[in-house]
Structures are given as C-alpha cells and as structure tokens.
C-alpha cells in the first residue's frame, strides 16, 4: 500500500529565505505527483503537477523536482514571503487506480 510522508510537519523561516519542502513515497509505480497549498479552513489550491517522466516542473518562484526511483519529491519556494505561510501537501497518483494518496502536509510559517 502506498504511503506518502512529509517531514518536517512544521517549519518556520524568516522572510526572504528559500523554502525546501520534502515528500517521500514508498511505491515508485506512480503516474504523477501533485503539490497543493492549503490555507487554514480552506480548500486545496493546486500548485504544480509533475509527471513521472519529468525531473522538474517550474511555476514562478516554485520549483518541484521528482526522483521516482528513490521515491522523493522536493518543492522549492524561492525568496519566501509572509503570504507563503500555509500548509503544503503532496499527493501521488498511483499507476493502478485513478486516485491520489496524500501526505500529511508541512505547515509553513514565514516570519516578517
């Protein structure tokens, strides 16, 4: 059974520092991996989708890398801002079955 882990569960950084968020998964037979942002009490906002054949995907200050063979993805957020404070979740689409398996999330606080 696929398990997705995000460590650490919480992270606090000063404004301007680069953020590095980790996601690991146990079964490398994935179709793609999606990163989301969630503000308190709100729904999920899709940030990036990275296909299993890709190594990287970029959108503005966000860059996601994927190493399928080692079961890892990293989300980099450059020059963090207080508005980046949120919980970040990763989720994998397994090759068998059209469903996402989510990690527990990393709660990020960017201090001004």
Partner 1 sequence: DVKVTQSSRYLVKRTGEKVFLECVQDMDHENMFWYRQDPGLGLRLIYFSYDVKMKEKGDIPEGYSVSREKKERFSLILESASTNQTSMYLCASSFGSYNEQFFGPGTRLTVL
> Using CB under 8 A as the criterion, which residues of the chain lie in contact with partner 1 when the complex forms?
31-32, 34, 36, 41-46, 49, 89, 91, 93, 98-100, 102-105
Cα dist. 29→26, 42, 80 in Å? 9, 31, 32
Q: Could you tell me if 95 and 29 are in contact, meaning their C-beta atoms sit under 8 angstroms apart?
A: yes
Give me the least distance between CB of 26 and partner 1, in Å please.
15
Structure tokens belonging to residue 110? 């960017």
Q: Which is nearer to partner 1, 82 or 104 (CB)?
A: 104
Give me the least distance between CB of 62 and partner 1, in Å please.
15
Give me the least distance between CB of 7 and partner 1, in Å please.
14
Q: Which is nearer to partner 1, 71 or 103 (CB)?
A: 103
**Residue 103 CB-density burial (10 A; 0-12 exposed, 13-18 middle, 19+ buried):** buried
Q: Which is nearer to partner 1, 50 or 80 (CB)?
A: 50
Q: How far is the C-alpha of 11 from the C-alpha of 6, rounded, in Å?
A: 11
């Amino acid at each position: 059974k696929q398990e997705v882990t995000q460590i650490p569960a919480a992270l606090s950084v000063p404004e301007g520092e680069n953020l590095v968020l980790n996601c690991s998964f146990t079964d490398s037979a994935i179709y793609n991996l999606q990163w989301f942002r969630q503000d308190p009490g709100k729904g999920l906002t899709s940030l990036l989708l990275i296909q299993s054949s890709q190594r990287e995907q970029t959108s503005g200050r966000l860059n996601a890398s994927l190493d399928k063979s080692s079961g890892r993805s990293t989300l980099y957020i450059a020059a963090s801002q207080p508005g980046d404070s949120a919980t970040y979740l990763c989720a994998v689409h397994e090759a068998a079955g059209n469903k996402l398996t989510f990690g527990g999330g990393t709660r990020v606080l960017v201090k001004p």
